[in-house]
Amino acid sequence: MGRNAVRVDTERGRLLTARRYDESDVRIRPGKSSRPRTKTRPEHNDAEAGMVVSVDRGRWGCVLGGDPSRPVVTMRARELGRTPIVVGDEVDIVGDLSGKVDTLARIVRVAERRTVLRRTADDTDPFERVVVANADRLLIVAALADPPPRTGFVERALVAAYVGGLEPVLCLTKSDLADPAEFTAAFTDLDLPVVLAGQSEDLTEVTAMLTDKVTALVGHSGVGKSTLVNRLVPDAYRATGVVSGVGKGRHTSTQSVALPLPGGGWVVDTPGIRSFGLAHISPENVVAAFSDLAGTIEDCPRGCTHLGPPADPECALDTLTGDPARRVAAVRLLLEAVRTNEAW
């Protein structure tokens, strides 16, 4: 019998043809190439160096060669996967580098970070957030009044700066409303530079300190941080906002952005911070940031929190005298602020 067999439909009295299939009827769907996938990636030898100055919904604003007059909009190259990229990152860029409207280049490499400013949402959150990368200094902006200053926030920002490798500077606004001496006395033994930046203050000292550096600014909403940025970078057009609570004003800046200083350098304006969690920082991290104390804690018993008696009666830091001993007292205030998660 051939390929087509004949059978009778007894009910309807007609002949039906039944199709028989053989190998010639089988169709194989074309598959993917059998060539093994290579792990070799392009070297991108023609990539140009740049710095990330803004982040917005999967797009990164960069400047080529650190030159503010050469901005480009970029995306993250596929080979980078989910590699985090933040403001301040030094990157290599390929593609359309013209900077024209609607053009898009690609970030293909992210350089190792020299410094990082990290925080967590709170002290129980295990997820670290890198706020700024590669900043030289951290300008901690606090108001001397309206809202009143809180040492807790400054202490926590200091811890983040010391551990992340940034040089901290305390910047006090609204200095015409209160005397800064009492507030700054708590930080004397940390050798913390203090500058005044009230609206009536001359900013020559502040500007000189920031020139040719990358400086991150942090502070509660309402302390005058955006007003300060507008004075440092006259064409920044940052919103100033209105305080809506005691030290808890609404956010007037929602994304970190790096702004070029007229005399050279960058200031990174960060959103008004409501919390500065330090879940990722241990007491050893804090003490190790001070070269004159780092070696001493090697003699501490296991599990020492370095807070001293009565919590740590055998803490090796208690053997120090003179200036190092005073530094220990100041550092322990930082450790206590981290441990107690006190209001800031």
Kindly provide the b/e burial profile for residues 14-50, where b requires at least 16 CB atoms within 10 angstroms of the residue's own CB.
Answer: eeeeeeeeeeeeeeeeeeeeeeeeeeeeeebeebbeb
Residue with the larger pLDDT of the pair 156 and 30: 156
- Distance CA(116)–CA(204), nearest Å, equals 27
How high does pLDDT run on average in the chain? 83
Percent of the chain with pLDDT over 70: 78
Confidence bin at 242 (pLDDT 50/70/90): very low
Instruction: Look up residue 281 and give its amino acid.
Output: I
- Distance CA(25)–CA(17), nearest Å, equals 17
pLDDT digits (tens, 9 = 90+) for 88-103: 999 999 999 999 988 9
pLDDT of 32: 62
- Asked whether the predicted pLDDT for residue 119 surpasses 70, the reply is yes
Q: What is the pTM of this model?
A: 0.79
Residues 6 or more apart whose Cβ sits within 8 Å of residue 31: none
pLDDT of 44: 81
Angle between helices 151-164 and 322-340 (to 10 degrees): 110
Highest mean pLDDT pick, 41-45, 164-168, 285-289: 164-168
Highest mean pLDDT pick, 6-20, 37-51, 125-139: 125-139
